[in-house]
Every structure is written in structure tokens, then in C-alpha cells.
Structure 1
Amino acid sequence: MASLVPTYLLLQLVLVISFFQFNLAARRLADSAESQQPLLFQYHNGALLTGKISINLIWYGKFKPTQRAIISDFITSLSTSTPTTAQPSVATWWKTTDKYYHLVNSKKPSTLVLSMGTQIIDETYSLGKSLSNQQIEELASKGAQKNAINVVLTSDDVAVEGFCMSKCGTHGSLKGASVQGRSYKFAYIWVGNSETKCPGQCAWPFHQPIYGPQSPPLVAPNNDVGLDGMVMNLASLLAGTTTNPFGNGYFQGPKDAPLEAASACPGVYGKGAYPGYAGDLLVDPTTGASYNANGCNGRKFLLPALFDPSTKSCSTLV
């Protein structure tokens, strides 16, 4: 059953420009007045994720093998070593994050190499079908904790604290187990499948929006509104996780509600975007699906604009 938005959020919802924005703790609502403010992105002298990082997937609930393949193909497509002849590509989209590392140290910038890690499947709902934030962290801790980003993905029949009411996903960091007397922090992400709960909020533009300008929904590139929405949200959170993993990296605004690499560009997927319109996108002539990035295994995805710190503007692939 879809969650209802509290009355105190209705005024914000009337003004919303792109439904939900991600911040360190959650993807939150943004109003049109806020979105028109200058983008004053700052580096807060903290660590960025560097080196070889594995992305481990923790699947919680029922997912079809074809659905799991959509997410894993997206993760694999992030690497420039993955052969993708068609452009624009997922790897090209991800290279915008390199600019953050160059700004930290232009003479000898650090590098980040992402790769697909292990996958854990929990189809028995070991913690039930209604999860708290603490339980999401418990699930995230099941993955490897050194040089890793652990991604918790919940199925469309799982309720999560705050899901649909104030967030579509979240990212943060946790203290891992001690290794040779030394403790490490590891990054984690949670994203929920909104298809049966709030697709108008967390899977737009592949579903009619609940509030704001009304326009026909676009055709999802992988023919799965819920999973294509999860890819968009996961992409946003990955960009925020790598450039602001511990709350003191790159962001604008207050630390407890920051705008990050992708959430600083809400609702923008192509050039010419405006409230209610995702932008001028590519369209598959066979399926009619809208997309802006090609991936491995012939995949197509719709990925959010990223804030380019060198131009101080939102950068799109198309």
C-alpha cells in the first residue's frame, strides 16, 4: 500500500520541482525557489573514496533474475574497462566525478576504480517486511566492509522507515569490524523499489507524477518502471557516496541536509529540462523507451545530471 505524505509536507509538495532530492541521509523534497539559487558547491576537506572499491549488492525480498541483471549490468557499466561501443555511455557519465578528485589535488589526483563485488540474496525477509533505518544498516553490514560500498536493495513489498514520505533511498557510512586491531569505515547505500508504493515520486519520469506539472510518463528503457527507477536513484546515491562518503566531502548547503553531486541537479536528465520535463532524451526507435546512456550487454539507462565542479553547472550526457 502506498504511503501517504503528511499534511505538513503538502505545501512543499505544491512547490516541488522534481519530487525528491538525495542528501547524505535521504533523497528529500526540493522546491522551485530553492532550485533557482546559485550552486555554491564546496569541498569540506574530508576524504573521498579512492582506490579499488567493490560494490556489493544485498538483495532483500523477491527480485526476479532479470531484475537483478538490470542493476548488476549498470554497476558493471560504470567501469571504463567494460567494452561499450555505443555512446553516450554509463562510463562517460561517471567520468564527471573524476573532476572532484582533480580539484582536491590537481598535481596528483587520487583515482577511484569501481567493480562489481559479491551479491547476497535474502528472499526469506529475515528481518520482516517493515524495516527501520537501523535494520537497513544491519543488512548493509552483511557485505564485505573493507574497500567496499554495500548496497541494500529492497523489493516492492518491503516498507522502509521514511520510504515514499521523505526519501527514495539513502547513503551513509558505518564503522566496520576491527581488522588487525584497526577499524575501518565503510560506505553503504539503500534504495527501494517504489513501483507499487510511490512510483510517481521515486520513479518519475517513468510514472505520472503525483504533484506538480503533469506530463505523460516515459517508456522505461528496461521495461521495468520499478527497477529503472532504482537505477536512477542508485546512480544519484553512488555519485554522492564517492564524493561525500563521510559527510565532509563535496556538498552545498547545511551538513544535515546537503545537496550532493547529483541531488544538486534535481529532475534534470537532458538539455532543456524544466519542472515536469526531464529534458531532450534519446528514444529507442524499436521500443519507444527514453534513455541517455548505453551500458554493457546492450543495456540502456536513464541517468541524472551531475554537478560539474569545473563549470559550476549541471552536466548532462545529451
Structure 2
Amino acid sequence: MASSHVAALALLVSVLLLSSARVSSGGRTLLELYKPPASELLQYHNGAVLQGHIPVSIIWYGKFTPAQKAVVTDFLQSLTTASSAPTPSVSQWWNTINQLYLSKAKAVKNAVPAQMALAGQVTDAACSLGKRLTLAQLPALAARAKPKKGGIALVLTAQDVAVDGFCMSRCGLHGSDARAGTTYVWVGNAATQCPGQCAWPFHKPIYGPQTPALVPPSGDVGVDGMVMNIASMVAGTVTNPFRDGFYQGDKDAPLEAATACPGVYGSGAYPGFAGNLAVDRTTGASYNANGANGRKFLLPALYDPASGACSTLV
């Protein structure tokens, strides 16, 4: 159902998206910064993108605390251009996707900005399919969230749930059902399985420069790591939902809007250094975006197809 992609990148914990014949999937792996030749830069392939009202339905697979759920739902509520959060904000980050990608999708007539909306939540705390999942089981889990056409089902697995390839080649993935017009994103909580890989820079990396870990905004390394990966996967889903939108390289192993800028969160980033970030004076937490309910988040840089540069909020 899915195939992982390996780029010529080492020394840096980062996120990559994967694809298959019917499913686009994504992962996070150790890579080094690599700048491809101009002929291989991220391009638009004349396919569909998601736009307008995008309902997001969540299925919580495994045990999540109310506090953990609140971090994720606050992030999703922050993905709107109508957000009143102070700058730099999550809504600014989201509007960058609208400006760099969705407004330039020629296949979409009269394109309107994408607006996320939390449509519902389902909890499977008992892990009815077990605590070891295959990639083939993820679409079935996504279906339980009952995504609407043009919407996204968000499958989130708890820290004691293993998913094939988790930590080894991916921290999340995104897929789709082109016939139904629905998409899904899966992201796992890596707090006890591989925080140095899927929650970097909030944990020392497994490989590469052993720089000190940053303080996570919510105080929960696993959940703040999930938000970073959710952001990357959602960016890829919206701009390349059915494998014919915006991507770079092989469509079965693409780099997409966020994963084309691996490990970059602020200006001046380089392998082992996430970039120049804002720091909360009270908690010492590092972040680059303000969100709903006073939350702070760390979001990945977005690739600018026009300039070939990584766009950061700070």
C-alpha cells in the first residue's frame, strides 16, 4: 500500500513524504540538507488540491490525556486565516500554503483559500485492532472517522502503539481515496519509541550533532513532536492529495511543501540546528508560531516553488 522514499540526506532528523499507487504516505528520517538541481525543483503537476472548507475528523487510537488532545485540537483550530493570534502565527503559516501553492493551482478554477474546521472526534482507547498496526490497516481506521468529501481523517496513535515503519522510516504518512475524494493523515506519538527522531528538536537526535534538546511549548515532547508532523503531513495532503499536485521527484517518493525543507524551523537552520526561534520568557520553550487559546507551536518551514527557498516564520 505504501512505499518509503530515501533521499541522499544524512545527519539531520527531518520529515519526508512517501507515496504508493493509491496512497501518499510520509515519514521522518535522518537526512542531511541537499539542494537538487533546478530541473528537479518542486513543481505543480496539474492535479487537484484541497481548498475551501476542509473538515477534519480525528480518531484517537490508544490512550491520550485530555491535555494532549487539547494541544492537537487547538493547533487545528489555529489553521484559519481568521485567527486572532499574535504574530508570528499558525494562521500566517497556513496562509503561506494558500499563497505559494493553492492560489497557483491551474487545475482549480476560482480557487478559494483553504480553511480547516474540526468536524468530529472518535476515540478507540482500547486499541480494537491491537497495538501493532500495518499500513494496510490505517485506511480502515481513517474510515471510522467518517471523513467527508474534500476532508481529512486524522489518525493519531498513542505512544505505546507501533505502526509498520514507525521510527525506522517514517513518523507519519498521508493517503487518499481518489474515488471518494477523501484523504487521511496518520501520525504517531514517538515519546517512548523514538523521540530523538520523530520529536527532534525537542529531544537529542539519535544520530548527527548532539545538540541540546529544546524545551517543548506544551511541556510534552511526544505531543509537540506530533504537531510538527501533523503540520507537515497536512501541508502535503492539501497541496498534493492525490499524487498529482505539488511535489518534487518521483511521485511514488515525493518531497512536498514541508518535507522539501527537512529540519528547517527558523532562519539560519543547518544540520543539527533548527534555526533561530522565539523563546518563551516564562517557560523557556522554543517556538515559531502562536495559536488558539494562547498556545505556542513549532512548525516546519515551507518550500517556495518560485524561489527555491525555505520560507520560515522567524
Give the superposition deviation at 1:31: 3.7
The reply on whether 1:237 has 2:239 as its aligned counterpart is: no
The reply on whether 1:270 has 2:266 as its aligned counterpart is: yes
CA distance in 1 between partners of 2:280 and 2:117 (Å): 28
Q: For residues 220-272 of structure 1, what are the alpha-carbon distances to aligned partners after superposition, in whole Å with 9 as ceiling and x for unaligned?
A: 00000000000000000010000000001000011111000000000000000
Contact 2:81 2:115 in 1 (8 A): no
- The one-letter amino acid of 1:296's match is A
Give the superposition deviation at 1:82: 2.9
Deviates more, 1:39-48 or 1:235-244: 39-48
CA distance in 2 between partners of 1:111 and 1:280 (Å): 29
Indicate which of 250, 253, 261 corresponds to 2:249. 253
Distance 1:212 1:166, change over 3 A: same
Distance 1:293 1:188, change over 3 A: same
| Root mean square deviation of aligned Cα | 2.0
Q: What residue ranges of structure 1 are gaps of 5+ in the alignment?
A: 1-8, 176-182
Q: Which residue of 2 aligns with 1:17?
A: 12
Give the superposition deviation at 1:72: 0.1
Contact 1:157 1:196 in 2 (8 A): yes
TM-score (norm 1): 0.89
Q: What residue ranges of structure 2 are gaps of 5+ in the alignment?
A: 1-5, 19-23
- The one-letter amino acid of 1:91's match is S
The reply on whether 1:132 has 2:134 as its aligned counterpart is: yes
Q: For residues 202-233 of structure 1, what are the alpha-carbon distances to aligned partners after superposition, in whole Å with 9 as ceiling and x for unaligned?
A: 00000000101110000000000000000000
Distance 1:168 1:271, change over 3 A: same
Q: Which residue of 2 aligns with 1:159?
A: 162
Q: Which residue of 2 aligns with 1:62?
A: 63
Q: Which residue of 2 aligns with 1:53?
A: 54
Q: Which has the larger radius of gyration?
A: 1
CA distance in 2 between partners of 1:19 and 1:54 (Å): 27
Q: Which residue of 2 aligns with 1:76?
A: 77
- The one-letter amino acid of 1:26's match is G
CA distance in 2 between partners of 1:26 and 1:114 (Å): 20
Give the superposition deviation at 1:200: 0.3
- The one-letter amino acid of 1:80's match is T
Distance 1:316 1:283, change over 3 A: same
Q: How does 1:158-307 map to 2 (within 5 A)?
A: 158-174=161-177, 184-307=180-303
Give the superposition deviation at 1:83: 2.4
Q: For residues 161-191 of structure 1, what are the alpha-carbon distances to aligned partners after superposition, in whole Å with 9 as ceiling and x for unaligned?
A: 110111000001025xxxxxxx522100000
Q: For residues 101-122 of structure 1, what are the alpha-carbon distances to aligned partners after superposition, in whole Å with 9 as ceiling and x for unaligned?
A: 2222499434322111100011
Give the superposition deviation at 1:38: 3.9
SS of the aligned residue for 2:25 comes to coil
CA distance in 1 between partners of 2:131 and 2:110 (Å): 47
Q: Which residue of 2 aligns with 1:313?
A: 309
- The one-letter amino acid of 1:192's match is G
Q: How much identity, in percent, do the aligned residues show?
A: 55
Contact 2:228 2:298 in 1 (8 A): yes
Contact 2:150 2:181 in 1 (8 A): no
CA distance in 1 between partners of 2:29 and 2:67 (Å): 31
Contact 1:20 1:201 in 2 (8 A): no
Number of residue equivalences: 299
- The one-letter amino acid of 1:32's match is E
The reply on whether 1:36 has 2:35 as its aligned counterpart is: yes
Contact 2:76 2:117 in 1 (8 A): yes
CA distance in 1 between partners of 2:207 and 2:30 (Å): 12
Contact 2:43 2:247 in 1 (8 A): yes
CA distance in 1 between partners of 2:15 and 2:241 (Å): 20
Q: For residues 145-175 of structure 1, what are the alpha-carbon distances to aligned partners after superposition, in whole Å with 9 as ceiling and x for unaligned?
A: 3231000000000010110111000001025
Indicate which of 144, 148, 151 corresponds to 1:148. 151
CA distance in 1 between partners of 2:109 and 2:122 (Å): 40
Give the superposition deviation at 1:303: 0.3
Q: How does 1:90-109 map to 2 (within 5 A)?
A: 90-98=90-98, 99-105=100-106, 108-109=110-111
TM-score (norm 2): 0.90
